[in-house]
Amino acid sequence: MSASWLCVCCHLQLGTRIFNKPEADGTSSTFYALPLLDMANHDNACPHFNRFEPCTFDSSRECVYFTAGADVAAGSEVCFYYGHLLPDRALLEYG
């Protein structure tokens, strides 16, 4: 496998699973790999969201909480808002 093909494979595996958290100073971001959150399908109108807060079990650490912004019926799909994406961009980036 060529190095360039390996780079493409890594981008496809990691690039679609990385979420960023803007820092308070507004000049930088921290990136997190959240492997279960990426299972939620993108929807521009999705009411659900994630938030970064101190962990309930250890306030010296930071946790990511996925929060339902509306009731979720049993058996229904759980969506996530990845940021406004046009359909062609969503297909290109997330498949």
Chain Cα centroid distance, residue 43: 12
Query: Are 21 and 52 contacting, i.e. CB atoms less than 8 angstroms apart?
Result: yes
Query: What's the maximum distance between 2 C-alpha atoms anywhere in the chain?
Result: 47
Give pLDDT tens digits for 37-89.
777 877 888 898 888 889 999 999 988 888 899 999 999 888 888 777 777 87
- pLDDT, one tens digit per residue, over 5-41 is 776 666 666 666 677 777 777 777 777 777 777 778 7
Beta strands per DSSP E along 44-89: 49-54, 62-67, 79-80
